[in-house]
Amino acid sequence: MEKLVACVQKKPNALCRLICFLWAGGGTPQLAHWGRLFNDSIEVFCIRLPGRETRLGEPFPKDMTSLVNEITSVLLKELKEKPFAFFGHSLGMYTSFAVALHLKEKYGLEPVHLFVSAAHAPNVSYRIINIVKQNHKLATKSHLALKSTPVPDRNNDLLACVGMLRGNFELPPNEDFRRNIALTFREDAKVFKTFSFEKADMNTPFSCDVTCFRGSDYKIYDVQCWQELTNGDVSFYELPGDHFYLLKPSNESFLIKHITTCIENASL
Cα distances (angstroms) measured from residue 10 to each of 16, 54, 115: 12, 19, 21
Residues recognised as catalytic: 90, 243
Task: Give dist(CA 91, CA 162) in Å, integer.
Answer: 12
Task: Give dist(CA 207, CA 226) in Å, integer.
Answer: 12
Q: Are strands 5-6 and 42-47 parallel, antiparallel or unpaired?
A: antiparallel
Strands (E), 1-136: 5-6, 16-21, 42-47, 84-89, 113-117, 127-134
Cβ 22 vs Cβ 31: under 8 Å: yes
At 151, is the pLDDT very low, low, confident or very high (cuts 50, 70, 90)?
low
Cβ 96 vs Cβ 29: under 8 Å: no
> What pLDDT does 133 receive?
35
Q: 131-141 pLDDT, tens per residue? A: 333 333 333 33
Q: 11-37 pLDDT, tens per residue? A: 999 999 999 999 988 889 989 999 999
Q: 211-234 pLDDT, tens per residue? A: 999 999 876 656 678 888 999 999
Q: 195-210 pLDDT, tens per residue? A: 888 776 668 889 999 9
